[in-house]
Amino acid sequence: MSINYAEKIPNNVELGSNRTLQRALEQWQPAFLNWWKELGPTDFQANDVYLRTAISVDAKGWAHYDYVKMPEYRWGIFLADPEHDRRVGFGDEFGKPVWQQVPGEHRSALRRLIVTQGDTEPASVEQQRLLGHTAPSLYDLRNLFQVNVEEGRHLWAMVYLLHAYFGRDGREEAEELLARHSGDADNPRILATFNEPIRDWLSFFMFTFFTDRDGKFQLKSFAESSFDPFARTCKFMLTEEAHHMFVGDTGIARVVRRTLEVMSETGSDDPDTVRHAGAVDLPTLQRYLNFWFSSSLDLFGADASSNAAQYFATGIKGRPDEKKFADHLAAGTSFDLEIPDGSLGTRVDTIPMRNAMNEVVRNAYVDDCMKGLTHWNRILEAAGHAYRFTLPSTRFRRGIGSWANIPTDPAGNRITQEAYDAQLGSWLPSDDDRAFVGSLMQRVTEPGKMAGWIAPPDKGVKDRPVDYEYVRVV
């Protein structure tokens, strides 16, 4: 299979048969390319990068690997193949045919969900735009750019839906997706996590593990949607999202492995000794973990949510892997939610299951995150070290829901505001932590060589060796 470079917008939605839509997207395309050149990866636009490019949705060979300059990447529109006689899988419309057009009564809610998802895609590119200057290896540099171009393609996926199904409102929303910018004081991105700066690769690995994992669960929820084009779009996006989480999982594992090597070489696990030897000490890794995990939790929304109940009832947004649930109506069941009560106490509040859908998905996300921690802790265990990484409680450092602005320690115990303020600096990365990690960020461009704070990967990309020239750096 090969890429048709003469095709302006690669797609499997028969774009050529809808000239009005094709012209609208071709008019949006220059604005996207201008955004990419201005706010995408800095100073690498002319470099050849060994990238994976989607060319079909065929599971046997949907991607093409080759060198490409990023502005020439074949961003396009791909939906998973339609499912014959697909039916609504949950909520009050369960069993009815899915929608091929947007029902008028659901237009506003669907547009809001699509815009919010679409806003996260360019945001992460903007957050990561400077990281190429401090890449620990060409392998990592290539992975960064792969994540970036795929986030760009995911933006295209949402923009297609806005243009194709929401008329003038959709076109205006698509323009706004390029007008907002991560961290902009006047016009920031919609969700707070996507305005956090990512100035070092440890943050990048944490972001791709924790925040992109939130993206996975949102996409899996949308892949259940009764609006079939939305569901099919998100189902295909999931095939690319897996690589982003892989980058985070293996990146953190490689940092841990290198730290253990330094601890063995120095005969010490003292953080100052480890830092002096040029590696990231384990407590600092835990503080970075605490920051990005807790930052990502609010992305799921409030634990008791009337919007979530409405999305489920109307068939707009389901639970990930809805088929695994026995009850697809969730109409007469309830969910026990532990919430703050009194000065330092808690109580259990029983709410309708539909109102708890955000919490159901958040709990599934936490379980999935634990798989990564288990991986990293097994590395520690195999090396004979007693240290173990832990996930903070879902109550810790929350800004949305029942636990918003309620002071707790990382274990979820309620504490006074004074105690919280006094100890927060020991639970999250300090300015000194960030400055130290920043000092390690030295760019390495010799094929196969790694920065001193990270171990090499177990294998390269697409059967290429680790010392392959993944980015041709002039």
Q: Return the percentage of the chain with pLDDT > 70, whole number.
A: 98
Please report whether residue 37 resides in a domain. yes
Pairwise pLDDT comparison (343 vs 93), residue with the higher score: 93
Please report whether residue 9 resides in a domain. no
The C-alpha atoms of residue 74 and residue 76 are separated, in whole angstroms, by 6
Using the predicted structure, report yes or no on whether residue 117 has a pLDDT greater than 60: yes
Pairwise pLDDT comparison (8 vs 243), residue with the higher score: 243
CATH number at residue 75: 1.10.620.20
Please report whether residue 407 resides in a domain. yes
Please report whether residue 3 resides in a domain. no
Please report whether residue 10 resides in a domain. no
Q: What is the mean pLDDT of residues 362-384?
A: 97
215-242 pLDDT, tens digit per residue, is 999 999 999 999 999 999 999 999 999 9
Please report whether residue 2 resides in a domain. no
Q: What integer pLDDT is reported at residue 10 of this predicted model?
A: 87
Q: What integer pLDDT is reported at residue 59 of this predicted model?
A: 61
Using the predicted structure, report yes or no on whether residue 6 has a pLDDT greater than 60: no
How sure is the predictor about 7, in pLDDT bands with cuts at 50, 70 and 90?
A: low
In degrees rounded to 5, what are phi and psi of residue 319? -90, 145
Please report whether residue 83 resides in a domain. yes
Location of structure tokens 């708890």: 356
Location of structure tokens 């947007």: 102
Number of domains in the chain: 1
118-129 pLDDT, tens digit per residue, is 999 999 999 999
3-state secondary structure of 359: helix
Q: What integer pLDDT is reported at residue 8 of this predicted model?
A: 78
Please report whether residue 244 resides in a domain. yes
Of 290, 294, 274, 280, nearest in space to 251 by CA: 280
How sure is the predictor about 55, in pLDDT bands with cuts at 50, 70 and 90?
A: confident
Least confident of 44-58, 184-198, 238-252: 44-58
CA–CA distance from 356 to each of 253, 325, 337, 397 (Å)? 34, 15, 8, 20
CB-CB contact of 470 with 50 (8 Å):
yes
What is the domain range of residue 404? 15-472
